[in-house]
Amino acid sequence: MEKRVAVVGGDGIGPEVIREAVGVAEAAIRRHGIQLSLETWDLGAERYLREGVTITEDEKARLIGEYDGMLLGALGDVRVPDQIHAREILLALRFEADLYINFRPCTLYLPHLSPLKNPAADIDITVFRENTEGLYTNLGGRFKAGTPDEIAIQESVNTYKGVERIIRAAFEYAVAQGRERVTLVDKANALPHAGALWRRVFRDVGAGFPDQRKDAMYVDAMAMDLVRRPEEYDVLVTSNLFGDILSDLGAQVTGGLGLAPSANLHPGRWALFEPVHGSAPDIAGTGAANPLAAIRCVSLLFETLGEAEAARTVEGALGDALASGVLTPDLGGSHSTEEVGGWIAQRVGEGGQGA
């Protein structure tokens, strides 16, 4: 049966990088004879500003119920007060589809792509970011808003179920990928309630994975060590906000946001793929956006949909682009978004169907 993927460019550089990702995906679909349709949806700041609607309940139900997955560029536009559309579209889809894993690999393809002085060649960190609770539930509120006595409360929610399933996912991934070390990142010294739960569950779940090395680090020290010796780490598992922050840091150490993909997953269910980066208003419309993060999302999408061969084709072509210096300015190149995307799509298409 034909699979269906919804495609949303979104805001800023989102549509620019997604256009290239779609070109690459279509080339891989043709080459490997995959039954998959990519269907464009109009969601983002423009639609909100035009219609006053971010996304309807019916649209969310259709996206989650009728599609196998979604590819999203980025949501973020200063014209939208308080970025409500990002929360009502992106965060709502994560929550409502219960996509509890935010899988964010940070892989150094070539040493010179790292801004570090003498980077180890083998930096390869995978962040397992909890994606349905923590500081992101929006529980809390404002009291006496707009007055000098204003109080703002933003609760951090940590449930046994939520903590257990993300930690288990991190360990299962480590086993499947032959990754030796799983590191819990928290702030148990200052936030002991959440810390105690995460550490207890990490210990209990970890006991079932005797071959993995286990340790816990405070998030501040981890931020430091991701710059000092990132090659020491394999799999990091952490709460929603810490994972958000550390995945930008891990991305930069391994070549920047232009290269970093993410998959929002609940195994066996509808999944959402998006670059780690945002709408990058500072470079939108200049042709300088790096499409590689979005293209790596296509590879993750194929992998998740059971099209491992297509995923490998995309990864291979992307590796060739990096090795051949077909790069956008953020990676020191002089190629445009379109040139990089077109080069990879052509590479993917070479050899014809079934080659």
Tell which residue, 294, 262, 290, has the closest CA to residue 18: 294
DSSP state of 9: E
# of chain residues touching ligand IPM (CB under 6 A): 5
d(CA 273, CA 257): 15
| 293 makes contact with ligand NAD (CB under 6 A) | yes
E-assigned strand segments in the chain: 3-10, 36-40, 69-74, 101-107, 124-130, 140-143, 151-154, 181-186, 213-218, 235-238, 261-265, 271-275
Tell which residue, 109, 79, 60, has the closest CA to residue 272: 60
- Closest contact distance (angstroms) between CB of 321 and ligand NAD is 14
d(CA 240, CA 101): 10
d(CA 202, CA 196): 10
| 83 makes contact with ligand NAD (CB under 6 A) | yes
Q: Which stretch binds ligand IPM (CB under 6 A): 83-91, 219-227, 253-261, 321-329?
A: 83-91
Q: Which residue of 238, 240, 247, 279 would you call a contact of ligand NAD, by CB under 6 A?
A: 279
Contact 339, 326 (CB under 8 A): yes
Q: Which stretch binds ligand NAD (CB under 6 A): 73-81, 116-124, 140-148, 171-179?
A: 73-81
Q: Which residue of 133, 274, 307, 339 would you call a contact of ligand NAD, by CB under 6 A?
A: 274
Decide which of Mn ion, ligand NAD, ligand IPM, none touches 284; Cβ closer than 5 to 8 Å per partner kind: none
Tell which residue, 349, 354, 346, 337, has the closest CA to residue 20: 337
Phi, psi of 343 (to 5 degrees): -60, -45
CB closer to ligand NAD, 58 vs 82: 82
61, two tokens: 């139900």
# of chain residues touching ligand NAD (CB under 6 A): 22
Q: Which of residues 203-262 bind Mn ion (CB under 5 A)?
A: 244
d(CA 109, CA 117): 16
Q: Which residue of 77, 244, 307, 330 would you call a contact of ligand IPM, by CB under 6 A?
A: 244
Q: What share of the chain is helix, strand, coil (3-state, %, to 5)?
A: 45, 20, 35
d(CA 298, CA 294): 7
54, two tokens: 């971010």
Q: Which residue of 162, 195, 230, 278 would you call a contact of ligand NAD, by CB under 6 A?
A: 278
- Closest contact distance (angstroms) between CB of 86 and ligand IPM is 4
Q: Which of residues 106-165 bind ligand NAD (CB under 6 A)?
A: none
CB closer to ligand IPM, 91 vs 110: 91
| 258 makes contact with ligand NAD (CB under 6 A) | yes
| 219 makes contact with ligand IPM (CB under 6 A) | no
| 86 makes contact with ligand IPM (CB under 6 A) | yes
- Closest contact distance (angstroms) between CB of 204 and ligand IPM is 28
* Count of C-beta atoms within a 10 Å radius of residue 62: 13
| 75 makes contact with ligand NAD (CB under 6 A) | yes
Active site residues: 136, 187, 220, 244, 248
| 276 makes contact with ligand IPM (CB under 6 A) | yes
CB closer to ligand NAD, 90 vs 127: 90
Contact 70, 8 (CB under 8 A): yes
Q: Which stretch binds ligand NAD (CB under 6 A): 18-26, 214-222, 224-232, 286-294?
A: 286-294
- Closest contact distance (angstroms) between CB of 72 and ligand IPM is 9
In order of 22, 28, 41, 141, 229, the CA distances from 309 in angstroms are 17, 9, 27, 48, 33
The residues binding ligand IPM (CB under 6 A) are 86, 90-91, 244, 276
The residues binding Mn ion (CB under 5 A) are 244
The residues binding ligand NAD (CB under 6 A) are 13, 17, 74-76, 83, 86, 90, 257-258, 274, 277-283, 289-290, 293, 330
